[in-house]
Amino acid sequence: MATAKPLQCVDRKGPSISPALSRGLRLLRVFSDAPVWLSNSDIAGRTDLPAATVARLTKSLAGMGLLHYSSSRRRFRLAPGVVRLGYGVRSEIQIIELIRPHLQEVANRYRVHTALAVLDGIEALHVEVCHSTATLVTLRLEAGSRVSVAGSPVGHALLAGLEPAQRHSLMRDLARHHGAGWDVMQRQVEQGLGEIAGTGFTLSLGGWHPDIHGVAVPLKPSGQPAIMSLGCCAHRGQMPVPRLKELGKELVRLASTLTSTRASA
């Protein structure tokens, strides 16, 4: 059984940011209000970054396909890799906007918290969360919250949506991460995968938190490469098992509808 987490589970501390990542993003932002082509000295003059740091960053960003270097101009411009990143963000936003009304409707009808999650390493990242105004217990689960893939129903649903080779690789990562606790968590994962194979949804009866019942299903929106999952949770007192299974069937129907509906381009 996974270690229970408190109901107020969102870490309100600001996330730590890699200094190198921060400098790289600051460098790329320079191009948003500058001439198409910039030299290293141009970039250094528009930022507070040392010239040596700028040279190192532009070389790395060019190698990643985010900047293009012209040897004749001896200057850089944004490369197609940046455009691809933009399309990826636009696509995800479209998916969230498409799914949000459905999540809110389910939250209101069943008086639960609903969430859309994506895989982020060995964690499930909530990219959208909807709350019912009638929900008695506040989980303080918000967009940006992360939960363990191995110890949560939304995580099990994400695992179920992966191709076998991807799932096997992630399971190895989870085993290394959880160490001695993996034996118990692996049984939880395998139970969740078995439930999804049989009914389309997996239940959590106090597995994530002793007082919380949850249910989740995998989701693969049409035309989207990323695996997602839909999850709901509520206090066990207001969500007995029969009602939870009814909610699971509702999520399976919703996932089927969303899988066949493509967000507009």
Same topology for domains 19-78 and 87-259, yes or no?
A: no
Return the pLDDT at 135.
Answer: 60
Closest CA to 114 of 148, 143, 147: 143
The H or E element containing residue 233 is strand 228-235
Q: Percentage of the chain with pLDDT > 70?
A: 82
- Averaged pLDDT score across all residues of the chain: 83
- 102: tokens are 């459905």
Mean pLDDT of 51-64: 91
Q: How far apart are CA 25 and CA 61, in angstroms?
A: 10
In angstroms, the Cα distances linking 262 to 96, 115, 259 are: 12, 19, 7
The beta-carbon contacts of 141-148 under 8 Å, at least 24 apart in sequence, are 141/9, 141/10, 141/113, 141/115, 141/233, 142/10, 145/9, 145/10, 146/120, 147/9, 147/117, 147/123, 147/208, 148/2, 148/122, 148/123, 148/124
Return the pLDDT at 85.
Answer: 65
**Where is pLDDT greater, at 10 or 111?**
111
- 250: tokens are 């509702």
Contact (Cβ atoms closer than 8 angstroms) between residue 154 and residue 147: yes
Return the pLDDT at 91.
Answer: 65
The tens digit of pLDDT for each residue in 228-265 reads 999 999 888 888 999 999 999 999 999 998 887 654 44
Q: How far apart are CA 148 and CA 152, in angstroms?
A: 6
**Where is pLDDT greater, at 210 or 180?**
180
Q: What is the fold, at CATH topology level, of the domain defined by 87-259?
A: Beta-Lactamase (3.30.450)
Closest CA to 182 of 151, 213, 146: 151
List beta partners, residue 234: 213
**Which amino acid is residue 194, in one-letter code?**
G
Contact (Cβ atoms closer than 8 angstroms) between residue 120 and residue 149: no
Closest CA to 118 of 86, 85, 143, 81: 143
Domain extent listing, the chain: 19-78, 87-259
CATH 3.40.190.10 fits 19-78, yes or no: no
Closest CA to 139 of 37, 3, 10, 260: 10
Enumerate the H helices of 30-181 as residue ranges. Answer: 40-46, 51-63, 80-110, 153-161, 164-178
Mean pLDDT of 25-52: 86
Q: How far apart are CA 30 and CA 38, in angstroms?
A: 9
